[in-house]
Amino acid sequence: MNHADFLARIAAARHELDQLVGQLSPEQVVIPGVEGKWSVKDILAHITWFDREMIGMLLARALVGSPWWNLPQEERNQRIYELALQRPASQVLVESRNAFAELIELLQELTDADLNETGRFRDMPPDWRLIDVLSGNTFEHYEDHARSIRQFFQLS
């Protein structure tokens, strides 16, 4: 995938997620059960954590991040969930938008080679491409959670 197509895919997936969230009332955003015990607020806090991790990696041009990456996925997600419990939905929504804007700004600076060639980011395993790391933590992630929100609230 080239850089322009990659950015378009991220923008489309995030737009879809934002459109779904925009259809919900403030009361609906905090209803638990969208994904297990998670509300939409919790999902957005979760996505924001991953966006911030990608921001850190892009700024460092290295595979860096939270030690939570070393935890099993379920435990890592539980810790992220617990971080957001006491934060109001309005704050989580603003943080989510701001983190995504910063992420997009950094992604725009990348080249096709940065995305698709191995060895361009420090400490990345030799067979890993940046596009694969970013895809799983951006548009694929947004699409997965958008499906859950759409199904739970029966949105089209």
pLDDT per position as a tens digit, 114-138: 999 999 999 999 999 999 999 999 9
Distance CA 6, CA 109 (A): 13
Long-range contact set of residues 64-67: C-beta below 8 Å, sequence gap at least 24: 64/123
Please give the structure tokens belonging to residue 35: 């994904």
pLDDT per position as a tens digit, 43-53: 999 999 999 99
| Domain locations along the chain | 3-153
Out of 1.20.120.450, 1.10.1200.10, 3.40.1280.10, 1.10.3720.10, select the CATH number for domain 3-153.
1.20.120.450
Helices (H), 61-138: 73-84, 89-108, 112-116, 130-137
Say what the pTM is.
0.96
Note whether 30 and 41 are within 8 A (CB). yes
116-135 CB burial, b ≥16 within 10 A, e <16: beeeebeebeeeebbbebbb
Q: Using DSSP, state whether 122 is helix, strand or coil.
A: strand
